Structure formats: C-alpha cells, structure tokens
Amino acid sequence: MDIALDPLEGTTLTAKDMPNALTVIAMAPRGTLLHAPDVYMEKLAVGPGLPKDVVSLEMSPTERVVELAKAKHCKPTDITVCILERPRHESMIEEVRATGAAIRLITDGDVAGVIHCAESEITGIDMYMGSGGAPEGVLAASALKCMGGQIWGKLLFRNDDERGRAAKAGITDLNRIYTRDEMVRSEVIFAATGVTNGSIVRGVRREPKFIETETILMRSKTGSVRRVIYRNPIR
C-alpha cells in the first residue's frame, strides 16, 4: 500500500492552542498516491457539484473568483476564499479583496483549509488557493476524493536541491499541473484526528482517568464519512 501521513498538521497551531491542528493519514493501493517531494505546491481547490475545471491554476485570482461566482449563480461578493496567511500571498490576497470576495485567512493547516471547501454550506468557504507543502497537497486531495470536490496542484521549486528531490521521487515534468485524480489515482481511505479543537473534529480532551479523541474516517469507494470517539484509559 501507499501511505501518506502528517503526524502533526499544524505544529504552530498546537503550540499556540489554535484551531484545526490535526494528525492525518491516507492509504491507497501501492503506486497510486503521488510521491510528492518535500517542496512547496501551488494549490487551488473547490467543493463538489461544480462543472469540471470550473477554475484553473492558469487563471488569475480575479478570474477564479469571477468564474466560480458564475458557476454558483451568485456575485463575486458572495464568494469566500481561504488563503494561508504568508508574505508570499500578499499580492494574491490584495487581488482577491479587490474583487469584493471575502477572505478567510488561516495561519497554518492548509489540509483543513482545503477540506472546508467540500462543505461550503457549513463552513462558508467556497475556494482555497495559495502555496503550501506538497505532501499536504496529496493528503488534501485524498480527503476531497472521499468528500467530493476538485483540487489542482503544481510543484514549486526554489533551487536545484529541491529539483533534485523531485528527480529522486521519479518526477520528470517539473511544470506539470496535477488534478485530484492524478494525485490520488485509485480509491483511498482518509482519516484525521483532532489535536486542537476545530471546525472538523474536536481536539484531545484530558480527563482525570482517560484521554478522549475524535476521528473523522472517510472512504472514497463508498462515500462514507464516519466520526469516531476514542476514550483511552490513562494507566
């Protein structure tokens, strides 16, 4: 099997007791998950029920907002975009704001940010855009494979060392844009357990005699989404 995991998605979130720190894992048949090197990936994601390729990485942030609003039969001012708050995203944030769309800035944890797009009627987030870790992009694509939605990713390289990592991972086309089904080429099982309280699952709860956690478990083959509460005695 292929296994993609992040033992702590949101280190800073955990250190500061901020929402949506997760421990995340995805499992699929061997050779079907993109072996993403430890580099940045430009990501763009939307939820289910939309036309195929309704937006793209080739579009400007403005065009993405406008096209998504058309597909949702609403105004750009009704769209909310989730973006990781980083200096590298300042121009993107400024351009999105100029469209009149709302922005939900997150400090860390872009796997959760992408997952929010799959339940926009609950989370209020219609689209995710920006760059973050490439392995986290594969995990996010696994979640959307289970929940529905579209995601596109393009690996970003800052130097020859990072290009070398891609070569070791078997990646030859450094400019390729990956779709969800190219990052996750078969059925997948995805699970996320809350570390801190968040909008997806509750965080770890410590009681006098036990520790309680909440896990969301999803399977793309059946479309099932389960929530499991674990209560582990402290010995």
Rounded to the nearest 10 degrees, the angle between the axes of helix 90-98 and helix 61-71 is 40
pLDDT mean across residues, the chain: 95
CB 143, CB 109: distance < 8 Å:
no
Q: Which of 191, 144, 216, 193 shows the shortest CA–CA distance to 22? A: 193
pTM of the model: 0.93
pLDDT tens digit string along 35-52?
999 999 999 999 999 999
CA-to-CA distance for 125 and 118, rounded, in angstroms? 9
pLDDT tens digit string along 56-78?
999 999 999 999 999 999 999 99
pLDDT of residue 82 exceeding 90:
yes
Confidence class of residue 137 from pLDDT cuts 50, 70 and 90? Answer: very high
Domains recognised in the chain with CATH numbers: 37-186 (3.40.190.90)
**Region of poorest pLDDT, from 54-58, 186-190, 198-202:** 198-202
CB 20, CB 136: distance < 8 Å:
no
Confidence class of residue 235 from pLDDT cuts 50, 70 and 90? Answer: confident
pLDDT of residue 14 exceeding 90:
yes
Q: For residue 210, how many C-alpha atoms fall within 13 Å in the half-sphere facing its CB? A: 7
CB 144, CB 27: distance < 8 Å:
no
What is the rounded average pLDDT of the residues 149-166? 94
What is the rounded average pLDDT of the residues 187-192? 98
pLDDT of residue 156 exceeding 90:
yes
pLDDT tens digit string along 85-132?
999 999 999 999 999 999 999 999 899 999 999 999 999 999 999 999
* Sheet arrangement for strand 80-84: 102-106, 80-84, 127-133, 40-46, 150-156, 177-179
Q: Positive or negative CA dihedral for 130, 61, 198, 116?
A: negative
